Structure 1
Amino acid sequence: MALTRCPLMAEEILKLSQTWSQPFTSLRRVQERMQDLSAASQLQAWRYATTGQGGARLYYKLTLTGYRTVMQDDQIEPPTKRFFREISPGRHRHQRALSQFIVQTYLAAHFRGIKVTDFHPENTFRIDCGERPLWPDARFTLTLPNGSQLSYCVELDNSTESVLSYKSADSILSKMQRYLLDLVVTPQPYRVLFPITGSADRLQHIVDLARQLTDGRSFSPFYVVLLDDYLADLDAFFRPCFHSPQNKNIPLLRSQARQFQIHSAVLATPVAL
């Protein structure tokens, strides 16, 4: 089921499994399971073009057979045309960062007893707004212990698109403008998260743009965060690493913090991954 959300490396599956009732106990066990599932035509694997410690890593995707096994539907079709295909090398950096963000989100939710629901993988949630629709990198809802629900769209930024461009439909400006159009008509408000893999200067440029576009509004939907800061703490939802047009260094769930205070003593104990 985790692989219906995004491609994952064995290391990410090991980390994510800590949120499961029966987690993996070692990286070797993960790799053995992936080999077994690949041999059974449930999974397929390729190598990322990017290298790091240990060389290029394998990432895993479901096959059509595996997807139908997970969904328990022998007739279901993939959500996108490229869902089972190898990722083009030009998208490797983007996908690795997005997968890291998604894994961390599930870990942070599990740590606080929050449920991640209504998850939509990259390019599967369409938002009609103006002449060109938006296709977020991810869309999900957090269901808090008190029953309240908060929805988010994710726009991961690898510094490959212009921040301020009136011509490019993929610029940060264009995306923010279209999100603001949708938020005028949508019955349920949501926030748009911009995880940044670039520099603090890049983050500040995006925050400044959000401030210009939302000046005078009582609700600003845009939250920006350096990806490394988001990944640095298991309690990522309450780490003061997010930036909005009105505030900097704030937690994502700051207005919901009160309902979690009774658990603070327990949550202060680090959880080994």
Structure 2
Amino acid sequence: MPLDTSTYTLALLRLDGRRWNELRRMTGQISTQSAAGADGSSFLSIGNTSVLCTVNGPAEIRNRNAANAAGLTTGGDDEASVSVEISVAGFSGVDRKKRGGDRRVLEMQSTLSSAFQTHLFTHLYPRSTISITLHVLAQDGALLATCINAATLALVDAGIPMPEYLVACTAGVTLDSVSELRSGEEESGDPLLDLNGQEEMELPFLTAATVGSSDMISVLVCESRCRVERVEGMLAVAVDGCKQVKEILDGVVRERGGKILQGMGG
């Protein structure tokens, strides 16, 4: 059933009750898998999308040739290599697909590996590897953004140094009518922040990741066809959303730090 985009004006609410510039409810935790032997772990949910992340390392690579042959590393001998593995639960979405070999999952793994390879201070750990494992438990839009944010929390929990949080958010733009998508003629439209799954299926959208609260964009992925004229507006909305996400992630880290200090004082 086509999504009725005529309700998406700046003055009205979206189908899930949000205004155009509102994030869905976001909750997060860190140190969720400490008993399982992970160096860092986190859980993050954005709306109905939930991701569990674990981080292991930095660990020394004793046989780099074998690791490179297996496709596990991307860095050189003078820096740590970041490997990313994403597993999607069969019950995470409405459509149950075969596990493994999914093209989008492979693209997401490559995007996250490249993003954190350049973002982390990998030069502090030569000839080693940092392994990030993400388990997608539920998906309802903003999957790549949720994975990036969950990985950031887990890396902070693991104590791996970075200049700032790497935070991500999605943004899209409405169509004046459903016929625009079919004809390929897009005219004016209103921006939308943090699209859910139904909106992503019907509307053009992109995922952007910034360094902390700055306007420095580290990741930009446009996963649907969109005219260039609309990218600037979507990007501005996404960057503003990243700043909101950064405050939420910072609150999660501070809450965990407060509990640790209380435990030490007790």
Give your verdict on TM over 0.5.
no
User: TM-score, normalised on structure 1?
Assistant: 0.30
Greater relative contact order (CA < 8 Å, ≥ 6 in sequence): 2
Q: Which has the higher strand share?
A: 2
